[in-house]
Amino acid sequence: MQLLCMGIYFPLWIIGFRRHSTTLQPVFQVHCRNTIKREIFKIYPEERSITLKLLDSLQGRVVTTSEMWTASNQKKGYMVVTAHYIDASWNLKSQILRYVKNFELFLYHCRIVA
């Protein structure tokens, strides 16, 4: 993504996300990552139960996929497991079931537990 500033295009990482957001909408406040993380953990139990009820109520089949990747600036692996299904209106829907931040530790834990 590039931004036009005084007739010159700059990548977003040079400008900075907070500065970019403030320029677009001065009233908008960008929260720190810890605040966002705390808010996500607050709503997680309710959203999890909603997702489990939804998957239990489906008439058709559910397909699960997994994706793995590594961050280029870190030596950490990531994995996400997603459920895909077709709802009653014949729309393809997807729900994230599990997100694992450090995939190598997850595999190590699975070997110990199993």
Q: How confident is residue 106, by pLDDT bands cut at 50, 70 and 90?
A: low
- The lowest-confidence range among 30-39, 66-75, 97-106 is 97-106
pLDDT 10s digits, 78-96: 888 999 999 888 999 999 8
Residue type at 80 in one-letter notation = V
- pLDDT, greater one: 22 or 9: 22
For the chain, what percent of residues have pLDDT higher than 70?
75
Mean pLDDT for the chain? 78
Q: How far apart are CA 37 and CA 49, in angstroms?
A: 19
Is residue 65 predicted with pLDDT exceeding 60? yes
Q: Where are the domains of the chain?
A: 1-30, 32-113
Return the closest-CA partner of residue 55 out of 94, 81, 89. Answer: 94
User: Residues 85, 93: contact at Cβ < 8 Å?
Assistant: yes
> What mean pLDDT is predicted for residues 34-55?
89
Those residues whose C-beta lies under 8 Å from the C-beta of residue 2, and which sit 6 or more positions away, are 9, 10, 11, 12
User: Residues 92, 99: contact at Cβ < 8 Å?
Assistant: no
Query: Which own/partner contact pairs does 96-100 have at CB distance under 8 Å and 24+ positions apart?
Result: 97/51, 97/64
Q: What was the pLDDT predicted at 104?
A: 62
